[in-house]
A and B are shown apart, each in its own frame.
Chain A
Amino acid sequence: MGPLAPYEIISENTNFLLAFFIGIAFGWVLESSGFSSSRKLAGIFYGYDTVVLKVFFTGAITAMLGLLFMSLFGWIDLDLVYVNPTYLTSAIIGGVVMGAGFIMGGFCPGTSFCGAAIGKIDAMVFVGGLFIGVYGFAFTYPWWEKMYMAKYLGEPKVSEKLGMSDGLFGLLLIIVALGMFIVAEWAEKKWPREEY
């Protein structure tokens, strides 16, 4: 029966409306878990607070398990679920730019809006920078186009590349995630910071 929009069970507009509410809920959860503090977010890079890693990886494995089970029960056709196409060069360069911005600014795009919404000035400055980047890229797009489109890989899945089933890869990912959480909590003890 799913995904809902491609099967036209709900219209594209309803889809956006749902996304709107889910987005508000997402922002609320981010803010109430302290994600609007750039010190907390930057902690992942220094080891004193790894909540970013834990939250996003927990989110990822929860969504993964949910989708795999829904596919198993025949509730959703995973072939119809939109997967971001991979452009290897831009993925790597974009990842580096995003990571550098994350360390320097202390926010990622979503959390900067959270911070700006509760009136944090550093977050507003970050959002301003974000728009400068967006418009700068858009207006100079012809310069980047070649690089942007380079190394197109389609929509590959890691499980396919490794030649294993989605489920087995899911299990491995869960084990890796749990292992990372243990390391993360060890790091929090090793490089503690009293107040931030």
Chain B
Amino acid sequence: MMKPLKLLALFVIPLGIIIAAVPPDRVKHFRLTADELLQEAGAGVQFISPDVVADMLVQKDPSLRLIDVRTPEEFDAYHMDGAINIPLSSLLSDEYTDILHQDAYMNVFYSNGSVYANQAWMITRQLGYENNFVLEGGLNYWFGNILSPEAPSLTSPNEEFAKYDFRKSAAAALGGGGVVATDNVAPAVKAVRPPVMSKAKKKPSGGC
């Protein structure tokens, strides 16, 4: 019985020593070059769809952290549920480094449109921070389409209706306006599990 164990040890110990001796993260750049940043920004990797954010909010996903980059006055007047305020002008202040440079949460910047949020993303990305994203369309789109979705026309493809149903139930769960008035059906009290949205990172995980 000792033999297979010795054989295994003969294989894995040398491999382990090699991998331990290799300097870690040799290919990881701390700062992106201008080219790389341009490429990322051009591909729009920073954008996260409002439907995904709505889904996470409805499901109370604790990994979501909304960051309002508008001024404190605007933040006080209205902000999304659970959002924290980091005005763009004080983005680089030391007290926020721990919030922006981390790997536990998914930070989502938002502003009224997406310009300021995008600027915040650019700056943090250039610093090499990860897990920061931009709410696509900003608050304007959020209000107009998620919290008070418009019914698609009758000839729309099925996906449009699925999207509309999801947004309607999300809006009801998130306390959006508009929906109840335009729709006689009682709004779903409990959030319905959305049928359409797929989360980028979610995959089935196996065990024993």
Contact = CB atoms under 8 A, between A and B. Distances in A.
A74 interface: yes
Contacts of A5: 203
Nearest to B13: A174
A161 to B, nearest CB: 12
Interface string B164-208: 000000000000000000000000000000000010111111111
Interface string B120-132: 0000000000100
Interface of B: 1-2, 5, 8-9, 12-13, 15-17, 19-24, 27, 60, 62-63, 102-105, 130, 198, 200-208
Given A175-B16, A178-B8, 18 more contacts: A6-B201, A19-B204, A61-B12, A62-B12, A68-B19, A82-B205, A110-B206, A110-B208, A145-B60, A149-B62, A154-B104, A156-B104, A165-B23, A167-B16, A167-B22, A175-B13, A178-B12, A185-B2
Contact of B16 (A6, A74, A153, A171): A171
Contacts of B62: 87, 149, 152
Given A56-B208, A111-B208, A178-B13, A170 B27 contact: no
A108 interface: yes
B60 A171 contact: no
A150 B5 CA distance: 41
Nearest to A23: B206
A182 B9 CA distance: 11
Contact of A174 (B16, B201, B205): B16
Nearest to A98: B207
B205 A181 contact: no
- Most central of A5, A6, A178 by chain B CB within 10 Å: A178
A72 B19 contact: yes
B205 A65 contact: no
Interface residues of A, number: 43
A101 B204 CA distance: 22
A72 B12 contact: no
Interface string A107-138: 01111000000000000000000000000000
B177 to A, nearest CB: 26
A168 B18 CA distance: 9
Contacts of B60: 145, 149
A45 B207 CA distance: 19
Nearest to A65: B15
Interface in A169-184: 170-171, 174-175, 178, 181-182
Contacts of B201: 6, 82
A72 B63 CA distance: 29
A106 B180 CA distance: 53
A12 B203 CA distance: 10
B206 to A, nearest CB: 8
Given A149-B60, A185-B1, A171 B208 contact: no
A165 B5 contact: no
A1 to B, nearest CB: 13
User: 6 closest Cβ contacts across the A-B interface?
Assistant: A154-B104, A171-B16, A171-B20, A165-B24, A167-B19, A174-B16
A154 B105 contact: yes
21 contacts: A5-B203, A23-B206, A56-B208, A62-B12, A65-B12, A72-B19, A79-B130, A82-B203, A108-B207, A108-B208, A110-B206, A152-B62, A154-B102, A156-B104, A165-B20, A165-B24, A167-B24, A168-B20, A175-B16, A178-B13, A185-B2
